[in-house]
Structures are given as structure tokens and as C-alpha cells.
Structure 1
Amino acid sequence: MILRRGILAVLGALIVLSVAALGYQAVHRDGAPWATDNPTQDARDVVMTQARAFMTTVNTYGPDLLDGSTMPSYRKDVEALVTAKFKADFEQNVPYAEATVAQSGLGRTTTVYATGVGDLDLERGRATVLVAGELTNSFPDKSSKDDATGSEARQSADPQPYRVEVTLVRQGGVWKVDDFTPVGQEAQQQSSQSADPSASATPTQEATP
């Protein structure tokens, strides 16, 4: 009898937990507890992926992308990730980056360390994503050669950390970058950026496309 009561108590507890779990899923899955998908979480994953791709793409370029005096593949890759509004701003500023690459051999690479959704409004199709990472600029070192390739070696500057808030909008079912804003220390230092490429396309303390 005692064993039977113990089993019944365990079963009762399991039933309570099951009901609570279904209630949680119903709340967080728009009233569909049996659904295997979660539109909100799916959207969070997508916007973080898009923000990461944007920061990686816009901050990765160099002489290897030059075709004459421009970087057409770089332009194409960035523009595929942004809205028409952002594209217009980018096209105004990217020539400064291309000129710096062509004239001084500037190269840039970036590493994104973390992304996090700051705000997500599925009804309006808007989201903000916080992105943290660092970028590294490099220039030709005319005094030495790369032993492996025999080509001119490159000298890298110290990595520059950045933190930005990327704004995305949903257009035709696709999330695209519409703007970005440096946050924290980068926001305070943006006014001291040099004109070597423009600050409108990348969030750094120095030259940016």
C-alpha cells in the first residue's frame, strides 16, 4: 500500500510538471504547444547571423580585391546584405576605402567574438543586434619579403576592438542591415576618426569604408 501511494505521488508530480511545461510552451510558442518550431527564436538566430555576416564582410578587404582602382566583389558582397537606404550611404563612402587600398595597400581583417539580440519586433519587422569584435589593419612592409611566397611581406597594426548596435529590417521576408551605431567607448571616439576610409561603413576608431 505504501509503495502504491508512493508511485501515485510520483505520477501526480509528473502530471503537474507536464501541464506546467505545456503552459510554458503555449505562452512562448504563440499558443501552439505542440509546434516544433519557434518563430521568435528562429528570427533571433537569423538576425544575429546577418549582423555577424555584415560586420565580417564590411571589415574584410584588401589589395587582393582590387580590380583596377575599385573593389567590385567587395561592393557586391556588402550590398547583398543591406537595404537600399544603407546601400546609398555605402556607395558614397566606399571610394575612400578603395583609394586607400589602391594607394597604400591597406588590408583589413576582422573577428566577431559575440552577438546578442537587443530588440526584436516581428510585427514591425525590425531588430537590433549588438556585435562585439576586433579588426586588424595591415600594410605592405617594403623592407622585407614573405619567405613562403617571395612576395612583399605585410605589417599588421594592433587589433582594434569594437562594439556596435546593428539595426536590421525585414524586406520581402529577408532581414537586411539598415544602419549601425558604435556603442560605448567607440561612440565617444568616433568623432576623432580619420578620413582614411569613411566611418559610415565600419565602426572603428580609424579609417573605415
Structure 2
Amino acid sequence: MNQAKRTEIFTRLRAANPKPTTELEYASTFQLLIAVILSAQATDRSVNLATRKFFPEHGTPQGLLALGEEGLGEYIKTIGLYRTKAKNVINTCRILIERHGGQVPEDREALEALPGVGRKTANVVLNTAFGHPTIAVDTHIFRVANRTGIAPGKTVIEVERKLEKVVPKEFLHDAHHWLILHGRYVCVARTPKCPQCGIEDLCEYKQKTR
């Protein structure tokens, strides 16, 4: 795919959704971090349903630490891998309080040192909370990048690095939001909705649906 085509793709995605953001609900950088940790192998909707029940009253590192693993576990039972996630969240709260004054660090290395935080989670927090031009490659972005030809790659990290290289700078900050939403609602896994797609004529996927 040539650069002119990529530029037009992102121009159209921006025109359709000028200010994209995560669908996770949060009221602070800390709550965003926790929501993203909980969203691993789970839907944003299931995470939002759970966090609405405890964020208002316990949505701080101190508040969740006071709940403890069992207390938090009761709130997030409906989310996959909830026991592991409860343990990671509580340990993350403890580290944030002990090492970072209760604040979420604006630093990749410090973020990835937190339990339950990998590269993708760190990228989401750095981008959404701190405005860094990072790209958090999930299953949707991996599929869209490969299927459309925007940035094909065999691994998540390969796709991430290629996107950072080929996405025009003016679109870099919001690129992963546009690609996630496109993959979630239009370029879906089993039967992509090509007839409804705003970039269908630019996409290089050969098996387009009609």
C-alpha cells in the first residue's frame, strides 16, 4: 500500500469520527489503568458494567487496596480471569502508593513493571491519559492492519512498529482508536461489512464481501 492511500484512509476515518477515544469508562488516569488491566481478554462493555459498581466509591489506589482481593473479586466476577486480575490490581495499587505517591507514572518502563500491565496496556494509558502517539495493537488492530494492507505483519510488535512508521504524523495520536473501532464494528473478524465500509475502495483485502 502506498502512502497516499494510507493518508486518504486516515483522512476518511477522521472525518467520520473527529475525536475518537476508548469505550472504557473512567474518571481518572488511575481508573483508566485499572479498566484496561481488567479488559484483557474481555469486552469493554463487560468491564464497564463491573467498574460502574465500584469506581464511584472505591476508585482510588487506597480505595481498592482497602477492598482487598476478595472484595474486588466480588465486583469483577463477571469478567474473565477475575481472580488473577483482582490479585494484579491490588498489587498494582500497593506499588503505586509505595513507589509513585499514588499516581500513575507517565513512563513506559514504570508502567510495564506494574502487575497485569503489558506493552498494550502501557500504550493505551500513555496515549489516552498522557497524549503520547503510541499504538496499542489488539486483535482488532492486528486484523485490520493485515487485512487492509495498511501495515501487514506477523506479530503484534511487528504491526505496532510498522504502524508507527507508516501512519502520517498528523493521525498518529488517534490512529489506534480509529483502527480498533473500525475492527470492532465494520471490519469484523468473520464477515467484514465491506458494503458499509467508508474505506472499502482503498482497502487491499481481496475477499471482500458484497
Is the pair's TM-score, using the shorter chain for normalization, greater than 0.5?
no
TM-score range, shorter chain: under 0.3
Superposition TM-score, scaled by structure 2 size: 0.25
More helix by share: 2
Higher strand proportion? 1
Which of the two has higher C-alpha Rg?
1
Q: Report the TM-score when normalising by structure 1.
A: 0.25
